[in-house]
Structure formats: C-alpha cells, structure tokens
C-alpha cells in the first residue's frame, strides 16, 4: 500500500509511540493517523474483515493488509488527519468499486491520496459519505471538500 500526502499544512510531522504486550513501537508517516481495512462484499456478512498488520519492528512504517482470501472487498479508510481524495488499485476506483483479490492474495497495490480536510468548510459546504445498503464508500472527492465518514450503522 502506498500513501501520497497532499496536505496544505506541515503539521503532524512527529511520531507516535504505541505499546502493546510490553512491546513499544514508534509510528511515523501515515501510520500515525491512517487505518485501512477490507470488508468482504457479502450480502450476509459472513466473511472476515481484514485489518492492517501490526508493525513488525520498532520503526516499521509499512502498511500491509494480510490474509485476504480470494474475493471482492470494500476498502475502508479511517483517518484522524485529512480525507482520502483517491483510493485506487491499478485502474480501479476503490471509492466506487470493490477491490478484487485473486488466488494467493494477488491484487494491484492500493494507492491512497490524502488531502487536507474541510478546505471549503468556511463556505459552509459539506459532503457526507454515501451509503448504499451495507456498503460504505466516499463520494467523488473535490479538492478541499469536507468529507465525513460514519462508521456507525
């Protein structure tokens, strides 16, 4: 997974220290503010969601989704900084289409472009994440648009 940052401010340049099971990891880069998961496209909700792999070392900045079985998945991006202006895998727009994982977990890398959130909020314009049934995705993101994601039902 590759993350491109297009933020208007140079804030959030520090690190975040995470301790889990007596193991301390220092998070740098997008791992400080970004989480990504895969939700199976399944009408009955019987598939297993895939979460980011925990860091494997003290300074591991990689963002890896492991263990996805062949099938289709909605990609969910959660951020405490900015919004996902673009989520793609090859030529597939993952804001509107599911990620297809082939045999052996094969899929083109996920490319995420993050931008500053609420650039147009001073003008009172807001957009909300679109929902269709059990599926959640971001609407077309315009530069500076304010997108809000609700993880609730």
24-76 pLDDT, tens digit per residue, is: 777 777 888 889 999 999 767 667 899 998 877 777 788 899 989 899 999 99
CB 30 within 8 A of CB 22: no
| pLDDT for res 118 | 57
| pLDDT for res 19 | 76
| pLDDT for res 16 | 73
The whole-model pTM stands at: 0.69
CA angle 100, 104, 108 (to 5 degrees): 45
Of the two residues 20 and 77, the one the predictor is more confident about is: 77
- Ranges of each domain in the chain: 2-148
In the structure encoding, which two tokens stand for residue 20, read together? 């889990």
Beta bridge partners of residue 133, listed in sequence order: none
| pLDDT for res 111 | 96
Query: How far apart are alpha carbons 87 and 147 in whole angstroms?
Result: 14
In the structure encoding, which two tokens stand for residue 83, read together? 């919004």
90-137 pLDDT, tens digit per residue, is: 999 999 999 999 988 888 999 999 988 654 433 333 333 333 333 344
């Amino acid at each position: 997974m590759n993350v491109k940052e297009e933020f208007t401010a140079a804030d959030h340049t520090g690190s975040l220290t995470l301790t889990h099971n007596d193991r301390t990891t220092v998070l740098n880069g997008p791992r400080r503010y970004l989480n990504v998961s895969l939700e199976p496209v399944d009408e009955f909700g019987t598939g297993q969601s895939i979460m980011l792999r925990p860091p494997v070392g003290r300074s591991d900045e990689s963002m890896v989704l492991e263990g996805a079985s062949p099938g289709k998945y909605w990609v969910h991006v959660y951020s405490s900084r900015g919004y996902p202006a673009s989520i793609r895998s090859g030529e597939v727009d993952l804001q509107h289409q599911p990620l297809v994982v082939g045999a052996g977990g094969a899929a083109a890398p996920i490319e995420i472009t993050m931008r500053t959130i609420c650039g147009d909020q001073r003008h009172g314009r807001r957009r909300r994440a679109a929902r269709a049934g059990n599926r959640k995705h971001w609407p077309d993101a315009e530069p500076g648009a304010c997108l809000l994601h609700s993880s609730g039902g």
